[in-house]
């Protein structure tokens, strides 16, 4: 399955989950809840001991998941179970060392086998992408490029030959960047509003990464039912008339 | 292969948001490193402010006692702020200033690099914030006071293992938050290119001086150069100008903590695997599935799960040897040098001395060992006393 499918149904709603918090069974139930609620793509975070791109709440989730013994193979098994139930596109977000230490060939091969369409590695910039991208392309997995408000002139080369979608990293200028990127690429553009920030569901972008649902799981112990309700409301706002400038 | 490689090691594995800052730094460094004005200003600071060149001291009593090779101590402990760290901070701060930055941020383990950064920030009128693991803040209370005294803000880091690696994580995040006016003054030969090469160049003054001094004293190069390795800045500084002389053995001493077979170790080259972390590919202590392992050493300055990429390359190519030294061996050496030469070494440097104590007797009397005494040990006295069971608080 190609990650592009996530953008066939209007603006894409892309919730983020930290795998294994509080445990893998709950993560599995959350995935079903999000899929039922109409998520277009689910971004699955594989915990890393030093998640330098995460905010404090999701960092805590990673640390606790690791303390509970979560590992890459456990997450692949989870995905295998999930894939038997749902067809929603899935993406992994993790760090270079998780993939590298597993063996990049082997890791990406497993992804392809299990139908995980995209990989987001925040500590792999354009300059270092080739060692991952070559294997991703071979396996039909999209390595998603990230752009930042400081990217400036780099944006053009980052999006050139990119696959899947363009990931706009958190900043105050995210929406402005969407405009600039439109001139450079025809790929879908997805905005991440960052830790603790409510997503602007009416954005001009083609999709929105939503971390607040997962943050609610960590901070308020949201159950899969609550997660379902929150996701459904967000989907309704995004896919509805879209006219109301409602920010959730 | 991307820039800044040492064999397969090195590179620039950092978030996109930092890339332009790192590229800008690389450009500035390339422009200034051979600029006569920059070099003159740095040289003057090294001489007049830091007190360079540091002495190369013939440790006669130690030599006689160990009964083998002639032992020289490169006295980086006599530099201003008490360690080799000043060499790098002067260079980077001067560069940051020329780049128009007004604020320095840095990580610190034992506090040596934090103190050095706070010192140079005071000297150059720059704002300064230091990130230090909460565990280290406890272990090194006096250095925390020193940094504050010098005008720096010290931020205890409570995430992860609350030690040096977490301090690096948080400093990296702070750089992401505020990049415009801020330079991240990395304290060792780690991180994304150009840091490993740039910090090495600023520390290479050590081996440049060693070469000159040993030629003047002995008329030949040393048989071995020995230095402790955490991230590896004092070691690469001591090795650099001797790498091109294959007859000189280069030996890095890693912190084995309670032993390389135990989980309480920080001996990265000995116990680690190649990985990607803190902006570089290099050897790292790792648990299963690529998680960075919690590491341990009695020395807060060596308590780091990685090592600079150039060291990884020197290891792979066989040009340098890396040996593990336990806490116990290091503390023995700490006490030994204090008694035999009247010099109290930093516990980090004591790891190198411990290896010299084992190595010197096995070498001929005309062999020459240069050991880099990277820092002074005043900061460690309370911890060493406690290690020996004395009830002392700072």
Residue B330 vs residues A125, A137, B62, B172, B362: alpha-carbon distances, Å: 40, 50, 16, 31, 19
Burial A103-133 (b: 16+ CB within 10 A, else e): ebeebbebbeebebbbbbbbbbbbbbbebbb
Burial B267-280 (b: 16+ CB within 10 A, else e): bbbbbbebbbbbbb
Choose among A149, A72, A85: nearest CA to A111: A72
The parent domain of residue A147 ranges over: 3-247
The pLDDT of A84-105, averaged and rounded, is 97
Percent of chain B with pLDDT over 70: 99
Q: What's the DSSP call for residue A123? A: T
Residue B1 pLDDT level (bands cut at 50, 70, 90): low
B346 alpha-carbon distance from chain centroid: 12
Residue A245 pLDDT level (bands cut at 50, 70, 90): very low
Per-residue pLDDT, A241: 46
Residue B60: pLDDT over 50: yes
Say if A126 is an interface residue toward chain B (CB within 8 Å): yes
Q: Which of A20, A48, A52 to mutate to test the interface with B (most CBs of B within 10 A)?
A: A52
Q: Which residue among A53, A71, A99 sits closest to B15, beta carbon to beta carbon?
A: A53
The pLDDT of B293-322, averaged and rounded, is 95
Q: Which residue among A66, A72, A169 sits closest to B16, beta carbon to beta carbon?
A: A169
Per-residue pLDDT, A246: 47
The pLDDT of B8-27, averaged and rounded, is 95
* pLDDT per residue as tens digits for the range B186-197: 999 999 999 999
* pLDDT per residue as tens digits for the range B86-116: 999 999 999 999 999 999 999 998 888 999 9
Which is it for the CA torsion B233, B235, B241, B244, positive or negative?
negative
Determine the 3-state secondary structure of A241 from DSSP: coil
B54 catalytic per annotation: no
Helix, strand and coil in chain A, % to nearest 5: 45, 15, 40
Residue A248: pLDDT over 60: no
Task: Find residue B355's DSSP bridge partners.
Answer: none
Residue B176: pLDDT over 90: no
Pairing of strands B5-6, B9-13: antiparallel
Task: Find residue B75's DSSP bridge partners.
Answer: B373
Residue A146 vs residues A113, A157, B47, B291: alpha-carbon distances, Å: 25, 12, 45, 23
* pLDDT per residue as tens digits for the range A160-179: 989 999 999 988 888 889 99
Smallest CA–CA distance from B180 into chain A, residue? A150
The count of residues in chain A is 248
Percent of chain A with pLDDT over 90: 84
Per-residue pLDDT, B109: 86
Q: Which residue among A59, A99, A125 sits closest to B14, beta carbon to beta carbon?
A: A125
pTM of the full structure: 0.95
Higher-confidence residue of B126 and A195: namely B126
**Record: contact A49-B3, CB cut-off 8 A:** no
Per-residue pLDDT, A2: 84
* pLDDT per residue as tens digits for the range B205-262: 999 999 999 999 999 999 999 999 999 999 999 999 999 999 999 999 999 999 999 9
Q: Which residues of A touch B11 (CB under 8 A)?
A: 127-128
The pLDDT of A188-201, averaged and rounded, is 87
Task: Find residue A90's DSSP bridge partners.
Answer: A42
Residue B139: pLDDT over 80: no
**Record: contact A71-B289, CB cut-off 8 A:** yes
* pLDDT per residue as tens digits for the range B323-375: 999 999 999 999 999 999 999 999 999 999 999 999 999 999 999 999 999 99
Catalytic residue, from B26, B107, B170, B254: name it.
Answer: B107
B374 catalytic per annotation: yes
Residue B22 pLDDT level (bands cut at 50, 70, 90): very high
Q: Indicate which CATH number applies to the domain containing A113.
A: 3.20.20.70
Per-residue pLDDT, A174: 86
Q: Which residues contact B210 (CB under 8 A, 6 or more apart)?
A: B56, B74, B222, B225, B238, B241, B242, B370
Provide the domain count of chain A. Answer: 1
Residue B182 pLDDT level (bands cut at 50, 70, 90): very high
Task: Find residue B152's DSSP bridge partners.
Answer: none
Interface of B with A (CB under 8 A): 2-3, 11-21, 159-160, 165-166, 169, 172-173, 179, 273, 275-277, 279, 281, 284, 286-292
The mean of the pLDDT values for chain B is 96
Q: How many helices (H) and strands (E) does chain A have?
A: 10, 9
Could you tell me if B394 and B382 are in contact, meaning their C-beta atoms sit under 8 angstroms apart? yes
Residue A243: pLDDT over 50: no
**Could you give the CA distance from residue B228 to residue B234 in angstroms, rounded to a whole number?**
7
Per-residue pLDDT, A173: 84
Smallest CA–CA distance from B3 into chain A, residue? A127
Determine the 3-state secondary structure of A30 from DSSP: helix
Q: Which residues of B touch A168 (CB under 8 A)?
A: none
Residue B394: pLDDT over 70: no
**Record: contact B160-A49, CB cut-off 8 A:** yes
B16 catalytic per annotation: no
Q: Which residues of B touch A123 (CB under 8 A)?
A: 13-15, 276, 279
Find the angle CA(A28)-CA(A33)-CA(A37) to the nearest 5 degrees: 150
Which has the minimum average pLDDT: A24-38, B171-185, B246-260?
Answer: B171-185
């Amino acid at each position: 399955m190609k990650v592009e499918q996530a953008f066939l149904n209007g603006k894409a709603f892309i919730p983020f989950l930290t795998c294994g918090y509080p445990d893998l069974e709950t993560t599995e139930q959350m995935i079903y809840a999000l899929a039922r609620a109409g998520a277009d793509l689910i971004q699955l975070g594989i915990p890393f001991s030093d998640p330098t791109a995460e905010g404090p709440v999701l960092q805590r989730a990673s640390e606790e998941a690791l303390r509970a013994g979560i590992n890459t193979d456990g997450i692949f098994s989870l995905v295998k179970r999930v894939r038997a139930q749902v067809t929603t596109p899935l993406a992994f977000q993790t760090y270079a060392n998780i993939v590298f230490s597993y063996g990049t060939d082997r890791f990406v091969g497993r992804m392809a086998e299990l139908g995980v369409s995209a990989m987001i590695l925040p500590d792999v910039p354009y300059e270092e992408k080739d060692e991952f991208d070559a294997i991703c392309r071979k396996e039909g997995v999209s390595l998603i490029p990230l752009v930042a408000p400081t990217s400036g002139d780099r944006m053009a080369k980052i999006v050139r030959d990119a696959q899947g979608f363009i990931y706009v990293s958190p900043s105050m200028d995210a929406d402005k960047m969407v405009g600039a990127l439109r001139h450079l690429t025809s790929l879908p553009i997805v905005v991440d509003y960052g830790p603790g920030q409510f997503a602007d569901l009416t954005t001009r972008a083609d999709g929105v990464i939503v971390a607040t649902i997962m943050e609610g799981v960590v901070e308020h112990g949201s159950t899969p039912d609550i997660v379902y309700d929150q996701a459904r409301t967000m989907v309704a706002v995004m896919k509805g008339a879209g006219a109301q400038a409602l920010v959730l | 292969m991307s820039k800044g490689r040492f064999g397969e090691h090195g590179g620039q594995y950092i978030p996109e948001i930092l890339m332009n800052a790192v590229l800008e730094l690389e450009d500035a460094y390339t422009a200034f490193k051979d600029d006569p004005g920059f070099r003159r200003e740095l040289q003057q600071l090294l001489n007049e402010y830091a007190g360079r060149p540091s002495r190369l001291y013939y440790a006669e009593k130690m030599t006689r006692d160990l009964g083998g090779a002639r032992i020289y101590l490169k006295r980086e402990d006599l530099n201003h702020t008490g360690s080799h760290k000043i060499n790098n901070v002067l260079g980077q701060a001067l560069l940051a200033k020329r780049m128009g930055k007004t604020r320095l941020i840095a990580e610190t383990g034992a506090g040596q690099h934090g103190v050095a950064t706070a010192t140079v920030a005071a000297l150059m009128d720059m704002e300064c914030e230091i990130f230090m693991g909460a565990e280290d803040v406890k272990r090194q209370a006096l250095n925390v006071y020193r940094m504050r005294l010098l005008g720096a803000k010290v931020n205890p880091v409570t995430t992860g293992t609350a030690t040096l690696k977490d301090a690096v994580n948080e400093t990296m995040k702070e750089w992401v938050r505020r990049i415009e006016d801020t330079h991240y003054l990395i304290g060792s030969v780690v991180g994304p290119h150009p840091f490993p090469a740039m910090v090495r160049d600023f520390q290479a003054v050590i081996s440049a001086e060693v070469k000159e001094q040993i030629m003047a004293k002995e008329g030949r190069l040393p048989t071995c150069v020995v230095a402790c390795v955490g991230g590896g800045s004092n070691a690469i500084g001591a090795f650099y100008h001797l790498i091109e002389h294959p007859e000189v053995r280069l030996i890095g001493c890693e912190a084995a903590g309670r032993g390389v077979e135990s989980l309480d170790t920080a001996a990265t080259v000995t116990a680690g695997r190649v990985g990607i972390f803190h902006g570089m590919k290099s050897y790292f202590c790792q648990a299963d599935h690529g998680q960075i392992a919690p590491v341990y050493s009695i020395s807060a300055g060596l308590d780091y799960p990685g090592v600079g990429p150039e060291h990884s390359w020197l290891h792979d190519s066989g040009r340098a040897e890396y040996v593990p030294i336990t806490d116990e061996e290091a503390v023995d050496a700490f006490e030994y040098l204090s008694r035999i030469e009247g010099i109290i070494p930093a516990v980090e440097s004591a790891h190198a001395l411990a290896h010299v104590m084992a190595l010197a007797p096995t070498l001929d009397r005309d062999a020459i060992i240069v050991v880099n005494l990277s820092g002074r040990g005043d900061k460690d006295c309370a911890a060493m006393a406690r290690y020996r069971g004395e009830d002392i608080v700072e």
